[in-house]
Structure 1
Amino acid sequence: MNHRNPPPNSRRRVLRALLGATALQAPFAALAGFNFFTSEYTASRDELQTQIAKRFPVAERYAEIFMVGLRDPQLGLDSKANRAAITATLTIASPLLAASPVQGVVSVSSALRYDATARALRLDQPKAERLELQGIEGRDAERLQKVGAVVAQELLQGQVLRSFTADELTVGRKTYEIGDITVQDNGIKVQLK
C-alpha cells in the first residue's frame, strides 16, 4: 500500500476539514484580543498607546489668561492600583509670563469606566500625581503647577482609551456588553457579558 498518496476521498475529507477549520477561525482572527470562550477582551499596551497618541495634542484655555496644552502622551499601567496613567509634555502659555511658553511634564493617574452609549473605555476622575516645570521657580512655579494640574485633569477626564464597534461586540446573534475592567501590567482586560 502506498502511504504517500492517500485515496481521493481521504484527501477530500482532509481538505474539507482544513477549510472548515479556517472558516471557523476567520471571524475570530479579525477580532484579535477578543476571547469569546472566556468572555474577555484584552487590549495590549501598544494598541492602547497607538489609540491615545491619535487623540493628542489637546489644549484648553484656563481663566481666560492661560493656554495649557498636552502632547506626546505615554501610557503607563498600574495593575496593583487598577489604574492607567498618562505622562505627557505640558505647555503653559500666557501674556503674563515673562518666559512664555513654559514647558514641563505632567503625570496623571486615572480610574477607568465603560461608556456604553459611545462603546468606549474612558479615563475617569484623573488625578495629577506629578508636575514638573522647566525654567521657573518659587511662587510662580507653584501657581503654574496648580493651573497645569487642574487643566491636565480636565483635559484627560473622559479621554477615550479604546472604542469598540458594534461589529466587534457581536458574534452570531449575541451582542456583548463590557463588564469589569482590569488593568494588567501589559494591557487592559475587560469582561464581556
Structure 2
Amino acid sequence: MLHRRRFLTHATRGLALGGAALLVAQGALAQPSYTVPLAQLQAMVDPKFPRNVPVQGLFNLSVQAPHLRLLPEVNRLGAAMALDVAGPALRRSHQGRLDVEFALRYEASDRTLRAHQIQLGRMEFPSLRPEVTDLLNAYGPLLAEQSLREVTLHQLRPQDTAVFDGLGLQPGPITVTAKGLTVAFVSKAP
C-alpha cells in the first residue's frame, strides 16, 4: 500500500511538472507584442485637429478631433467627429456629426500606426435642409479621405522596438482588442 501511494505521488508530481513545462513552452512560443491603450491613441490624435477641408469655393468643412472607440469585433477603430460647415453657399455655419470606421496599418519608414480603409457613415446636419445634407454626403468620401487619410494614431519609439529589432523581429499584424491596439512582432523578411 505504501509503495502504491509513493508511486501515485511521484506520478502526480510528474504530470504536474510536465503540465507546467508545457505551459511554459507554450508561453515561450507566444508571439511577442506591443499594446497601445485607447487613451494613448486619443492623446496622439487630438493635436492633429481641427482640420479644414474647402470644397470648390462653396463651403468649408471643419472636422473636430474624433472621439475614438475600439471595435474589436470587426478589428477596426471607430470615430465620432463633430463637424462645422460654413461658406457662401450656406449663409451661416451649421454643426453636424460624422461617424467613421477604419482599419490600421504600420508604416515602417517612420514607425507609425496609421488609419486606412476608411468607411464613412452619413454626415448629419440637423439645421440644414435634407437636399443640402445630401449634397454634402455626395462629397463625403472625398472629404473623409482628405481629412482622415493616413492620420497617425501612434508612433513607436526606437526603445519600444529595440529588443524586438535585436531578435530579428518587426511589427506585423495589428489587432484591436478591448484594451487597445496590439501590434504583433513577426520575423523580418529576408
Which of the five TM-score ranges fits, normalised by the shorter chain? 0.7 to 0.9
Gaps of 5+ in 2: 1-29
Instruction: Give the distance between the partners of 2:79 and 2:164, measured in 1 at CA.
Output: 36
Residue 129 of structure 1: how far off its partner (Å):
1.6
Residue 123 of structure 2 contacts residue 133 of structure 2 at CA under 8 Å; is this kept in 1? Answer: no
Instruction: Give the distance between the partners of 1:180 and 1:69, measured in 2 at CA.
Output: 33
Higher helix share: 2
Residue 131 of structure 1 contacts residue 149 of structure 1 at CA under 8 Å; is this kept in 2? Answer: no
Residue 77 of structure 1: how far off its partner (Å):
1.2
Residue 173 of structure 2 contacts residue 183 of structure 2 at CA under 8 Å; is this kept in 1? Answer: yes
Residue 145 of structure 1: how far off its partner (Å):
2.7
The number of equivalent residue pairs is 156
Q: Give the corresponding residue for 1:135.
A: 127
Residue 70 of structure 1 contacts residue 152 of structure 1 at CA under 8 Å; is this kept in 2? Answer: no
Q: Give the corresponding residue for 1:57.
A: 50
Higher strand share: 1
Q: Could you list the structure 1 runs, at least 4 aligned residues long, displaced by more than 3 angstroms after superposition.
A: none
Matched, 1:144 2:136: yes
Q: Give the corresponding residue for 1:68.
A: 61
- When normalised by structure 1's length, the TM-score is 0.74
1:149–1:106 CA distance, 2 compared to 1 (3 A): farther
Percent identity over the alignment is 27
Residue 179 of structure 1: how far off its partner (Å):
0.3
Instruction: Give the distance between the partners of 2:113 and 2:159, measured in 1 at CA.
Output: 16
> Alpha carbon RMSD of aligned pairs, Å?
1.9
Instruction: Give the distance between the partners of 1:64 and 1:173, measured in 2 at CA.
Output: 49
Instruction: Give the distance between the partners of 2:173 and 2:44, measured in 1 at CA.
Output: 21
Structure 1 window deviating more from structure 2 (146-155 vs 132-141): it is: 146-155
Instruction: Give, as a single letter, the amino acid of the residue that structure 2 aligns with 1:96.
Output: A
Q: Give the corresponding residue for 2:159.
A: 167
Structure 1 window deviating more from structure 2 (142-151 vs 102-111): it is: 142-151
Q: Give the corresponding residue for 2:103.
A: 111
1:132 is paired with a residue of what secondary structure?
Answer: coil
Q: Give the corresponding residue for 2:150.
A: 158
Instruction: Give the distance between the partners of 2:112 and 2:77, measured in 1 at CA.
Output: 15
Matched, 1:120 2:112: yes
Q: Give the corresponding residue for 1:45.
A: 38
- When normalised by structure 2's length, the TM-score is 0.75
Instruction: Give, as a single letter, the amino acid of the residue that structure 2 aligns with 1:39.
Output: P
Residue 184 of structure 1: how far off its partner (Å):
1.0
Structure 1 window deviating more from structure 2 (123-132 vs 144-153): it is: 144-153
Instruction: Give the distance between the partners of 2:169 and 2:82, measured in 1 at CA.
Output: 37
